[in-house]
Structure 1
Amino acid sequence: MQTRVSEPAYTTPIYALSEAAQIIHAPATSFGRWAHGHDFQQRRRGERGWSPPILTGVRRGRGFTVPFNALAEGYIVESFRRAGLPLARIRPAIEVLRNELGLEHALLSERLKTDGAEILLENDAAELLVVRNKQGVFRDVVDQYLQTISYRDGFVDSLRLPTYERVDVIVDPSRNSGQPTVARLGVRVEDVVSRMRAGEPMIEVADDFGLEDDEIRSLLVQAA
């Protein structure tokens, strides 16, 4: 049976690697490692280790290689990082979640938001729920970041990018080919900011699109 995460709109590559990293404001090098894995020097002299990919469905090569599913997974991984959880703890947490949920796309499951903390605790992974000021990092992630995700049929449907503080910007593979979009207008962020980059006065662009001054400034700053 086809599920949300197996639909072509979610599995077809629509982003370049660097573009996907920019959309979710993640370091491009880190996103590349999450997408393709990487080797590293182990403590034992002369030995190399290997960290497998975290993201799913990313293709090798140039051009469009990243599907929406992987973009959303990257967004969630970056959310953990921003909440203070190092990647060395994120990787085993993801494996626990995948094993317990029985899903390759565990990061995309709505159960991550509802049951994630309980699953980690039940699997003796309490160290992954780092306590900081009596507040678990995982709970921080749920409260601050997973609330910006919309789910449908139990899986991620679209993202709202919180870095755009003054305007509601979403990423939805069914709208504007998955490009960041001003939700209430249905126009791409790039359609707005490209006119200002071309030298058009901000006040005229804002008036044409029906944007407030603080909204258009937010778009310009974050899209820079």
Structure 2
Amino acid sequence: MQTSPAVDVAYTTPIYSQTEAARIVQAPATSFTRWAQGHRFKQRTKGEWGSSPALLTGVRPGRGVTVPFTALAEGFIIESFRRAGLPMARIRPAVDVLREEIGLENALLSERLMTDGAEILYRNGEGDLVVVRNHQGVFNEVVSEFLKSITYRDGFVSIIHLPAFETVDVVVDPHRNSGQPTVDRIGVGVEDILSRVRAGEPLAEVGEDFGLDARELRSLIIQAA
């Protein structure tokens, strides 16, 4: 059985607020908060209050900086599921199945999600839990289109390549720029580049100083808008 990715404290030490983490993975802030903290809801049929546990692991209670890279990565994967068409009503039991079958609380971070995770979620077609929409390979599409944006190390997520930046490789790596989105090729934080644009410096000068062509710089500006 794999061990938890808790050996490197850079991955498990909080470095983001929940709002900041939601912005990085491009998830609604209210949704990310529910994933991080769980939430209460009124059951329509019974008229009673129910609750959903937190989906993300390692988020500390309170305000401010509470989210480690591991939880941000889990949020990125859950948002990827959502964008592929899987509703939260199926994502939550899917996470439970993955944790049970893979044997890890951090199952969403495991490289096994890339290899046999889809089969784990798809094989329950005999009256058991089916989490793939319309019994089709939607989850397989998630694996190919979203999870390929992840770099693994020692079997767990180590770097996220943000797919929204189509023409420039922007990564989130807790060992670089305190986990802030970074242009991989030059090692400079996206915010450091954009701060000069916001200050009114000519785009040509900013691009030249950082070695970015016009298309790459435009991609950074559009995604930050």
TM-score, scaled relative to structure 2: 0.94
Contact kept, 8 Å, 1:171 with 1:180, in 2: the verdict is yes
Give the match for residue 180 of structure 1.
181
Residue 105 (structure 1) aligned with residue 113 (structure 2): no
Deviations 1:41-63 (A, max 9, x none): 10135411101000001111121
Residue type matched to 2:102 in 1? Answer: L
| Mean CA deviation greater in 156-165 or 118-127 | 118-127
Change in CA separation of 1:34 and 1:206 when aligned onto 2, cut-off 3 Å? same
Give the match for residue 211 of structure 2.
210
Q: Which runs of 5+ in 1 are unaligned?
A: none
Contact kept, 8 Å, 2:4 with 2:106, in 1: the verdict is no
Shift of 1:121: 3.0
Deviations 1:115-152 (A, max 9, x none): 011112344456312248xx511011001100000001
Tell me the matched-pair count.
Answer: 222
Shift of 1:4: 3.1
Contact kept, 8 Å, 2:149 with 2:162, in 1: the verdict is yes
Residue 128 (structure 1) aligned with residue 112 (structure 2): no
Give the match for residue 222 of structure 1.
223
Deviations 1:167-206 (A, max 9, x none): 0000001111110000000000001001111111111100
Shift of 1:3: 5.0
Q: Which runs of 5+ in 2 are unaligned?
A: none
Higher share in strand: 1
Give the match for residue 80 of structure 1.
81
Q: CA RMSD in A?
A: 1.6
Deviations 1:1-41 (A, max 9, x none): 97534421111000011000000100000000000000011
Give the match for residue 28 of structure 2.
27
Mapped partners of 1:93, 1:3: distance in 2: 19
Mapped partners of 2:133, 2:179: distance in 1: 33
Contact kept, 8 Å, 1:108 with 1:156, in 2: the verdict is yes
Q: Secondary structure at the match of 1:4?
A: coil
Mapped partners of 2:7, 2:203: distance in 1: 41
TM-score, scaled relative to structure 1: 0.95
Residue type matched to 1:29 in 2? Answer: T
Contact kept, 8 Å, 1:170 with 1:180, in 2: the verdict is yes
